[in-house]
C-alpha cells in the first residue's frame, strides 16, 4: 500500500508542548487510519475540551470539537444516524472520567460500535495541571500545592465493569504497539477503549517518559490471552483482566479483555426498530412498528 499520511494530516500548526505524549497518539492514530485504508469522509472524530481535544483539528476527517465531558453523547448521536461511519472519541482523563464519567459508563452498557482513545496523563493540562481522576492518592506533581487527596479511577477496571467489550492500555511513545492496538480497537465489533498512558511534560513531573520506560511491560510477552471464546468464561476473563490492571510495580500494556460474543447496540436496535439499517444521513425520525418516534 502506498504510504500516504498526508491524506489524514491537516496542515494546521500543532501547538502542544514539545515532548507531549499527544504527539505519539496523533502519529499512531493517523498511521492506524492509513493502514486500515479508511476514507477520511467515512471517519468521524469527536473530542471534548482539553489539550487532547485539539487532535481533531490535526486529522483530516469529519470532526467535532464539542463540550467538556460531552464528546461521547455527540459521538453516539453521530453513530446512530450514520452507522456507516467509523466513529472515534479522543479525550483526556479529566474530560472522559471527570465530568464525562456518566457518559463513559453508559456507553459501555450500550456496546455501540465506536472507539474511545483516552489520553491519560493524570493531570488537567489545559488548565495548568490540576489533579485529574487518574492521578493516584498522595501523589504531588509540581503544579499541586499539596499531595492529591482523591483516590484514582482505574480506566481499565471501570470500562470492563461498565460493559466495554474491548479494553486495552498502551503507551503514547511506543507508536508501533499503539497503532496496532488502535487498529484492533477500531475493527472490534462493539465498544472499545484504548487507555493511552502519556507524559504531560509541562505539569506532571512524576509520570514522565523515564518513569513509563522503566515500568511498562507488554501483556503479550507473558502470554496473556484476553479473548473470551465461550459465554461461560466472561466473568472469569473480566475479573482476571481487572485484577491484572491494578498491577503497579510494573505496568502492563496491551489488550486486557476482548469479547465479541455480546450483541452490539446496533444489533439490539435492529431487533426492535425495523427501519434502523436503512437510516439515511441527516434523518432525524425513525420508526418502530410503523410509527415515527
Ligand atoms: Fe501536553 Fe501537558 Fe502541554 Fe497539554 S500542557 S500540551 S498535555 S504537555
CB of 22 closer than 6 angstroms to any ligand 1 atom: yes
What are 87-114's pLDDT values in tens digits? Answer: 999 999 999 999 999 999 999 999 999 9
Q: Is the pLDDT of residue 169 over 50?
A: yes
What are 172-222's pLDDT values in tens digits? Answer: 999 999 999 999 999 999 999 999 999 999 999 999 999 999 999 999 999
SS3 45: strand
SS3 38: coil
What are 209-263's pLDDT values in tens digits? Answer: 999 999 999 999 999 999 999 999 999 999 999 999 999 999 999 999 999 999 9
The domains located in the chain, with CATH, are 5-262 (3.40.50.970), 269-293 (no CATH)
CB of 51 closer than 6 angstroms to any ligand 1 atom: yes
CA of 198 to the centre of ligand 1 (A): 10
User: CA-to-CA distance for 154 and 150, rounded, in angstroms?
Assistant: 13
Measuring from atom 1 of ligand 1, which residue has the nearest CA?
20
CB of 62 closer than 6 angstroms to any ligand 1 atom: no
Measuring from atom 6 of ligand 1, which residue has the nearest CA?
16
SS3 letters for 78-124? HHHHCCCCEEEEEEEHHHHHHHCHHHHHHHHHHCCCCEEEEEECCEE
Structure confidence at residue 277 (pLDDT): 59
Structure confidence at residue 267 (pLDDT): 86
pTM: 0.93
For this complex, say whether ipTM is above 0.85: yes
**For ligand 1, mutation pick of 17, 57, 118, 132 (most atoms within 8 Å of CB):** 17
CB of 203 closer than 6 angstroms to any ligand 1 atom: yes
Amino acid at each position: 500500500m502506498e504510504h500516504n499520511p498526508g491524506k489524514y494530516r491537516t496542515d494546521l500548526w500543532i501547538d502542544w508542548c514539545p515532548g507531549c505524549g499527544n504527539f505519539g497518539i496523533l502519529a499512531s492514530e493517523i498511521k492506524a487510519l492509513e493502514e486500515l485504508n479508511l476514507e477520511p469522509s467515512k471517519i468521524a472524530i469527536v473530542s471534548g475540551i482539553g489539550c487532547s481535544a485539539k487532535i481533531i483539528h490535526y486529522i483530516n476527517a469529519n470532526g467535532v470539537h464539542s463540550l467538556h465531558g460531552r464528546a461521547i453523547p455527540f459521538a453516539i448521536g453521530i453513530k446512530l444516524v450514520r452507522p456507516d461511519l467509523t466513529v472515534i472519541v479522543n479525550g483526556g482523563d479529566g474530560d472522559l472520567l471527570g465530568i464525562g464519567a456518566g457518559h463513559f459508563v453508559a456507553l459501555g452498557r450500550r456496546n455501540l460500535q465506536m472507539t474511545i482513545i483516552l489520553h491519560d496523563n493524570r493531570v488537567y493540562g489545559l488548565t495548568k495541571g490540576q489533579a485529574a481522576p487518574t492521578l493516584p492518592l498522595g501523589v504531588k506533581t509540581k503544579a499541586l500545592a499539596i499531595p492529591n487527596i482523591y483516590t484514582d479511577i482505574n480506566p481499565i477496571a471501570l470500562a470492563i465493569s461498565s460493559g466495554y467489550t474491548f479494553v486495552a492500555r498502551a503507551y503514547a511513545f511506543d507508536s508501533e504497539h499503539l497503532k496496532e492496538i488502535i487498529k484492533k480497537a477500531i475493527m472490534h465489533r462493539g465498544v472499545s477503549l484504548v487507555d493511552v498512558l502519556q507524559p504531560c511534560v509541562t505539569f506532571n513531573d512524576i509520570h514522565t517518559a523515564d518513569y513509563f520506560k522503566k515500568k511498562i511491560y507488554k501483556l503479550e510477552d507473558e502470554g496473556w490471552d484476553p479473548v473470551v471464546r465461550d459465554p461461560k468464561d466472561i466473568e472469569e476473563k473480566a475479573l482476571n483482566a481487572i485484577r491484572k490492571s491494578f498491577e503497579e510495580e510494573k505496568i502492563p500494556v496491551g489488550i486486557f479483555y476482548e469479547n465479541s460474543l455480546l450483541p452490539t447496540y446496533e444489533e439490539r436496535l435492529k431487533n426492535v426498530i425495523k427501519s434502523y439499517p436503512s437510516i439515511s444521513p441527516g434523518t432525524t425520525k425513525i420508526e418502530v412498528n410503523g410509527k415515527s418516534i
